[in-house]
Amino acid sequence: MEVEPVYGEGFFHVSMGTIYYTIIYEYRELDDEAHRAARNPSMRRREEEGIAREMQRLMDAEKILVNGERVRCVVDLVRLEPRPERRHAAVIHSRIDYKPLPGKNVYEDFYEPEVAPYDYTVYWVAPPGGSIVDVDTPGALRYGADRRIAIIHVRRGTRLNGYEAVVFRLPESWTTS
């Protein structure tokens, strides 16, 4: 089955003790087998299961630390979303459990360096009362909602150096009660 990446979006939603991570990977079908799989429920389920295994393998290959402690990104759900004109999306939901600290919390991801094969945007969203303090990642960075949201846009061809970090604060009431 041959597909061509079109665009990616990643959403990191920070909560107390868990970071929820959702990826939306848009792609275009390049052959009839991919087209049939997108339309056939049993073929789609098999494809979703294969993508879930591959994503878990990729996540396990990364070294993710939160507050200096090794954590695991667990893939919970993969859903293929057929769309018109052979352009579809894979939605991947995962979670990262961590031990929150009062004050600053630090997420770090170590992975194999590569060149971005397509454009993508990543959103880091802190809960109301929290904030995104600092971001170390390639791409264009901007903040929204009084620094509660960081938006990182990475263009195809950008060199990814194999390290990303996000420093965030949880709402003070969450860490002092």
pLDDT, tens only, 92-140: 999 999 999 999 999 999 999 999 999 999 999 999 999 999 999 999 9
- Under 8 Å between Cβ of 56 and 117: no
Give the strand pairing for 3-15 and 120-125: parallel
Output the six-digit token pair for 131: 């904030």
Tokens 């003070």 correspond to 172
pTM of the predicted structure, to 2 decimals: 0.92
Instruction: Identify the band that residue 35 occupies on the pLDDT scale cut at 50, 70 and 90.
Output: low
Helix (H) or strand (E) holding 36: helix 32-39
Output the six-digit token pair for 39: 């339309």
What CA–CA distance (Å, rounded) separates 36 from 33? 5
What's the residue count for the chain?
177
Query: How does DSSP classify residue 113?
Result: -
Hey, is 26 helix, strand or coil? Answer: strand
